[in-house]
Structure 1
Amino acid sequence: MAADALAELAKRRGFFFGSNGAYGGTAGFYTFGPQGAALKRNVEDAWRDRFTIREGNREIEAPTIMPEAVFEASGHLEGFDDMLVECPECGESHRADHLVEDATEIEDAEALPGEEVAELIADEGIACPACGTELAGQPVEAFNLMFATDIGPGDAQPGYLRPETAQGIFVEFPRLKEYARGNLPFGITQIGPAYRNEISPRGGLLRLREFTQAELEQFIDPEEDEPPLDRVRDVEVRLYPATEQEADDGDYLDTTVGEAVDEGVIGSPWVGYYLGVAQEWYERVGVDLDRFRFRQHLAGERAHYAADCWDAESEVDGDWIEIAGFAYRGDYDLSKHDEYGDDAFTVFKRYDEPKTVERATVDPDMSVLGPEFGGDAGAVADALEALAGRDPDAFDGETVTVDVNGETREVDADVANFAVEEVTESGEHITPHVVEPSFGVGRTVQTLLAHAYSEDEVDGEERTYLSLEPEVAPQDAAVFPLVTNDDRLTALADEVAADLRAAGLAVAYDDSGSIGRRYRRQDEVGTPFCVTVDRDGIEGDGPDTVTLRERDSAAQVRIPVDDLADELTALREGEPFASVADRYDAVDTDVETEGN
């Protein structure tokens, strides 16, 4: 399936389209139409069910704008950059690494240094896609992707739109740990928008300036907490390790999660666990697993905080795209916010039995430090306390040296009042480590549409349909009166649609055109089941019946109206249509071509 065919269907049938078209459009922003918004919402609900509810986690909703200090602590101000190259002729800006990837066989130019990317642009004779001017000799510069804003009027506080939902979880950790009663492990999830000022948005929903993430931050004690790996040990996965990517004859590794963890291919059991959970979830929502893999980050592309990182990737229109990332972030995030923030980003880990330990302490004589160091006296005292815990031997001499605000300060050892005391401790404060599965919702939606796009022939007529899983399809069913000139049929069809909606099902109602055309319309938006009210179903002495048609096979069964809501609910929850079909009489499918 070509990308333009999916884009045309997505726009025509109300899945997604470029925003602000009345004003010329705005690159990197898409509006989800009625079908797309419903599909996206169902994907989010399915993710919430698996990663929040079934894992016993809790969900929060944090602001999308945060003060500058948050991103100074997180490192985004300094290192959240992409490679920009500007055309000297037309002034268009481009992602330099993308230009290299498009023109060469290099798959991950993002992992290369900027200087090397600039050399490749020159060596390959890469030109500006907009005007054709060669870009050799143009500098490749780092461009920060965050959207800046001001919080408040006047001398406003600088802020940024969040580039990921994760920081909203990390900065609230001091309060979130209270809700967990300080017990590790615990997980916090969040589904919401994030913003990145992409240099060159492209690929429909694949690279946007506003997009939706679904993220889980799992907080663990790295010395004690182990994942429930046995739950996914036998899940089969297709891995693309870094070693295979770098080898001349590298290939995929088809294995199980358990084997990959045991053999060290996946370095963290926690990451392995979530790869297994994700594999099962992607299959559940309808990703074609023949077009799916987990790719390990190369050393050059791995984030500085990540000990190991894997991407879930899907094949769309011949390209592999990242749809989720799985990272072991260590204690980087909480340690940074502990350093910059005012709260404690640690948890108290209680020992099984109290321990008697030696602890180095200081009790600085402030009557001496005050006159000597003035306003820095408190900072000198804090520095002495930190030094005592870190390097007790530093107090062996007559004087002690500490660094305060970039300056060296010398204090007499007797003024520091250093001592080593025996104390009984019931526990210690530790900084949890973080394991993060992070999913791109829009990219998942585009993957599902691409993988569900199908063409076949029904009753001698070609059709296009979306083979979406019932759980995520925009609508659960559509209801049709076979003809509109029979009041009995239209009245029953109205009643059936109302009853199904009252049962919590998303139902479309369509009485326009031939029954075959109505089926085609619903097939094209992925509606899994169609209910047709016909005369055969209301004539006779028995209860009223309708035909229930399954989208992919076009098979139909006749089913009592009273059974319909329960059967559709079961189908939405995963019961195979074949099981339902076994309980009812089959219907000849020539009804598809009947006129109105």
Structure 2
Amino acid sequence: MTGELVELAKRRGFFFQSSEAYGGVSGFYVYGPQGAALKRNIEDSWRDRFQVQEGHREIEAPTVMPEPVFEASGHLDTFDDMLVECPECGESHRADHLIEDNTDIEDAEAMPLSEVGDLIAEYDLHCPSCETPLAGEPVEDFNLMFETDIGPGSGHPGYLRPETAQGIFVEFPRLKEYARNQLPFGITQIGTAYRNEISPRKSIIRVREFTQAELEHFIDPETDEPPLHRVEDVEVTLYSAVEQNDDDGDYLRTTIGEAVEEGIIASDWVAYYLGVGQEWYERIGVDMDRFRFRQHLAGERAHYASDCWDAEAEIDGDWIEITGYAYRSDYDLSKHDKYSDEDFTIFRQYDEPKVVERATVDPDMSYLGPEFGGAAADIAEALQTLAERDRTAFDGDVVTVEADGDTYAIPVEKTGFSVEEVKESGEHIVPHVVEPSIGIGRVLYTVLDHAYDTDEIEGETRTRLSLDPEIAPTTVGVFPLMDKDGMGETARDIAAELRSHGLDVVYDDSGNIGRRYRRQDEVGTPFCVTVDYEGLEDDTVTLRERDSTEQVRVAVDDLPNLIADLRSGERAFSEL
């Protein structure tokens, strides 16, 4: 299937490799007229379900961010893939993919580097480019971020964002003001992300530039609960970590409610969004017989995720991740709170004021200053932090703290340590985050693959894309039976009227009517309107449905509302 679909995508303008006039660049693709329209419709559908219906808001952040952002987020240290380089041709390959492609091992990504290197030797794996043996070659971490300089010179290093999420997290101090400092609230973003993949492959499945649709839902983990009742009866196919580790493991076909009750999905929030996602994938045309939710194994979870499930679709026998559902806890906001000068907390109001014990220090700066010089202020701050975290550290005569990498011993009597009772009306907490992160390009490819079909019409083989009308690049094709006797003018007027109602329309008078139908079937256009001699007399047209090829006669005046209802699902063609 892959070859046929990629050929159709290129020929009909869905997607194709960029810069082909200069030999092409691996991992970068252009979405043509059909693909750009399909991509936009998928994004709009995602906005409707994950943003509008959930009451969330959208932002658009820059794609380049300064280095300190990624120091805080952990991407500089942990956003790596496994690289092995061929000693003969110099081609770099992703080591875990070599193992997964050439053995029965499915989760090499979760293995340590040394074990991956041993498996390359054990299975005698060769370079895919020149067949040179790779046994004994070092397997190393390779950071996937694209580095750049902000402004002239190299004094302000930055990176192209590897995910859209950090653009939301960094702006949390301002975004919480727009939410009136009230949890829960959600922020969405659809935009471009960049990963310098070691070996891009499988067309637009693994690329270096791609579009993400991400939702960051900020919650109070102690008080906020999702509306599980909305999705508790949604049926899902789960492949849990327990089942993956069991030699006889199998899929669990259950409901969201049962999966939560039985502890299969630990987070109620993740479970809720799995249910929302399941309904959305089905809505846009993903084949539910070729779809599952797979839980990440411990070794493959991202550095920020305490639990993660992937929505996966089957394509040509391989399971492709199309969405990650992660419980990021307070990892991101805590990191940015620590590394930046802003406050990434929310004030949680108590129902009633509480009397609590609070440890404080009032350091004797007349001692710290002369004794420790420029480090005195940092020492005072470290003392306060230690008092809040571990008051028992002040039980002896001397307390030890670290400041700027150095260790200092301070007499307790000079710290002004005390424990006082104070009345508090609330406390500052760092919100937790639930994140559905969708790869739009992968969803687009999945929808195309699952919609691709062939059948026979009037003795000829027909290729069609059975795309849902909501996301099809073109909603309706308008044709004159022949461009003569006024049929062409009438068809062009109808096309213009339909466009004025916001419908995506293509006008075509080239070739015989059967060929025009086939062209539209191949790009997934769900409906075609034909103007004929009879219609010139009674102001009607024939309306044809793509999959069944059935036709009905419809009044021209009824067309705009009827096609809009068919596109939205308000009416079914079989009811006409």
Indicate the TM-score class for this superposition, using the shorter chain for normalisation: over 0.9
Q: Which residue of 2 aligns with 1:448?
A: 447
Q: Which residue of 1 aligns with 2:61?
A: 62
1:269-284 alignment runs, 5 A limit: 269-284=268-283
Counterpart residue type for residue 560 of structure 2:
A
Tell me by how many angstroms 1:120 deviates. Answer: 1.2
Q: Which residue of 2 aligns with 1:462?
A: 461
Tell me by how many angstroms 1:118 deviates. Answer: 1.2
1:197-596 alignment runs, 5 A limit: 197-486=196-485, 488-539=486-537, 542=538, 544-581=539-576
1:182-197 alignment runs, 5 A limit: 182-197=181-196
Tell me by how many angstroms 1:306 deviates. Answer: 1.8
Three-state SS of the structure 2 residue aligned to 1:238 is: strand
Counterpart residue type for residue 503 of structure 1:
H
Three-state SS of the structure 1 residue aligned to 2:366 is: helix
Q: Which residue of 2 aligns with 1:593?
A: none
Moved more, 398-407 or 265-274: 398-407
Counterpart residue type for residue 511 of structure 1:
D
What is the CA–CA distance in structure 2 between the aligned matches of 1:134 and 1:391, rounded to whole Å? 56
Tell me by how many angstroms 1:579 deviates. Answer: 4.9
What is the CA–CA distance in structure 2 between the aligned matches of 1:115 and 1:398, rounded to whole Å? 48
Contact 1:216 1:436 in 2 (8 A): yes
Q: Which residue of 1 aligns with 2:4?
A: 5
Tell me by how many angstroms 1:417 deviates. Answer: 1.6
1:556-588 alpha-carbon deviations (Å, 9 max, x no partner): 11000000000010011113433542xxxxxxx
Give the CA RMSD over aligned residues. 1.1
Instruction: Report the identity percentage.
Output: 70
Tell me by how many angstroms 1:399 deviates. Answer: 3.0
What is the CA–CA distance in structure 1 between the aligned matches of 2:2 and 2:154, rounded to whole Å? 47
Tell me by how many angstroms 1:290 deviates. Answer: 0.4
Tell me by how many angstroms 1:154 deviates. Answer: 2.5
Counterpart residue type for residue 425 of structure 1:
E
Tell me by how many angstroms 1:142 deviates. Answer: 0.7
What is the CA–CA distance in structure 1 between the aligned matches of 2:399 and 2:393, rounded to whole Å? 6
1:491-550 alpha-carbon deviations (Å, 9 max, x no partner): 1111100000000001000000000000000000000000101111112xx4x0011100
Tell me by how many angstroms 1:380 deviates. Answer: 1.0
What is the CA–CA distance in structure 2 between the aligned matches of 1:468 and 1:139, rounded to whole Å? 46
What is the CA–CA distance in structure 2 between the aligned matches of 1:34 and 1:374, rounded to whole Å? 67
Three-state SS of the structure 2 residue aligned to 1:267 is: coil
What is the CA–CA distance in structure 2 between the aligned matches of 1:359 and 1:72, rounded to whole Å? 32
Q: Which residue of 2 aligns with 1:94?
A: 93
Contact 1:64 1:194 in 2 (8 A): yes
Moved more, 23-32 or 383-392: 383-392
What is the CA–CA distance in structure 2 between the aligned matches of 1:103 and 1:236, rounded to whole Å? 34
Contact 2:566 2:573 in 1 (8 A): no
What is the CA–CA distance in structure 1 between the aligned matches of 2:36 and 2:550, rounded to whole Å? 28
Q: Which residue of 2 aligns with 1:21?
A: 20
What is the CA–CA distance in structure 2 between the aligned matches of 1:348 and 1:59, rounded to whole Å? 23
Q: Which residue of 2 aligns with 1:153?
A: 152
What is the CA–CA distance in structure 1 between the aligned matches of 2:136 and 2:223, rounded to whole Å? 53
Three-state SS of the structure 1 residue aligned to 2:13 is: coil
TM-score (norm 1): 0.95
What is the CA–CA distance in structure 2 between the aligned matches of 1:87 and 1:570, rounded to whole Å? 57
Three-state SS of the structure 2 residue aligned to 1:557 is: strand
Contact 1:567 1:580 in 2 (8 A): no
Q: Which residue of 2 aligns with 1:584?
A: none
1:326-369 alpha-carbon deviations (Å, 9 max, x no partner): 01111111111111111011100000111122211112222322
User: Does residue 69 of structure 2 align to residue 74 of structure 1?
Assistant: no
Contact 2:327 2:434 in 1 (8 A): yes
Counterpart residue type for residue 151 of structure 1:
I
What is the CA–CA distance in structure 2 between the aligned matches of 1:413 and 1:245, rounded to whole Å? 54
1:182-201 alpha-carbon deviations (Å, 9 max, x no partner): 11111111000000000000
Three-state SS of the structure 1 residue aligned to 2:479 is: strand
Q: Which residue of 2 aligns with 1:39?
A: 38
Tell me by how many angstroms 1:394 deviates. Answer: 2.5
Counterpart residue type for residue 552 of structure 2:
V
Counterpart residue type for residue 556 of structure 2:
V
Tell me by how many angstroms 1:424 deviates. Answer: 1.2
Gaps of 5+ in 2: none
Counterpart residue type for residue 520 of structure 1:
R
Number of residues paired by the alignment? 576
What is the CA–CA distance in structure 2 between the aligned matches of 1:392 and 1:200, rounded to whole Å? 52
Three-state SS of the structure 1 residue aligned to 2:436 is: strand
Q: Which residue of 2 aligns with 1:585?
A: none
Contact 1:547 1:558 in 2 (8 A): yes
Three-state SS of the structure 1 residue aligned to 2:298 is: coil
Three-state SS of the structure 1 residue aligned to 2:299 is: coil
Contact 1:550 1:577 in 2 (8 A): no
Tell me by how many angstroms 1:400 deviates. Answer: 2.6
